[in-house]
Amino acid sequence: MSARRRSILVVDDTPDSIMVLCALLKEAFDTKVAVSGEAALRVLRAAPVDLVLLDVMMPGLDGYEVCRRIRAAPATAALPVVFLTARDTAEDAARALAAGGSGHLAKPVDPDRLHAMLARCFGVPP
């Protein structure tokens, strides 16, 4: 019997970003998709995942608020959340960490950096 594949929730309001991320993840992970912060929180209440890739700039709830809500819920408080953003300054990275993020990656996402970040979050060698 094989080990269960880890699952990742991809949260982004841009279809192209979702398509690229899911393509990068499909070999090693099961993916779920949400196109808004509100939808992400509904997905997380319905079924657990092992990690969230979370866009920062979305209409409605932005990624920072979604992460704060993930951290506030006992069932998801320890869930790794990696922010994805077109904004890549030290201030943006600090804001992501202050909101409870486990990491911060710039868009467009570099596949090697993404896989290294996932390995770090899961505690395995890249």
Stated pTM of the model: 0.93
Extract the runs of DSSP E, i.e. beta strands, from 15-85: 30-34, 51-55, 81-85
* Strand order across the 51-55 sheet: 30-34, 7-11, 51-55, 81-85, 103-106
Identify whether the C-beta of residue 81 lies closer than 8 Å to the C-beta of residue 67: yes
Q: Is residue 88 part of a domain?
A: yes
Q: Which residues contact 82 (CB under 8 A, 6 or more apart)?
A: 51, 52, 53, 54, 101, 102, 103, 104, 105, 117, 118, 121
47 part of a folded domain: yes
In a domain, 1, yes or no: no
Q: Is the pLDDT of residue 114 over 60?
A: yes
pLDDT band at 125 (very low <50, low <70, confident <90, very high): low
Structure tokens at 30: 């099961």
Tokens of 96: 């992501």
| Range(s) of the domain holding residue 51 | 7-122
Is there a domain that residue 44 lies in? Answer: yes
For residue 20, give the CATH number of its domain: 3.40.50.2300
27 within domain boundaries = yes
Q: How confident is the model at residue 1 (pLDDT cuts 50, 70, 90)?
A: very low
Count of domains for the chain: 1
Q: What is the pLDDT of residues 21-32, one digit of tens each?
A: 999 999 999 999
Is there a domain that residue 2 lies in? Answer: no
Question: Which run of H or of E encompasses 69?
Answer: helix 63-72
Kindly state whether residue 55 falls inside one of the protein's structural domains: yes
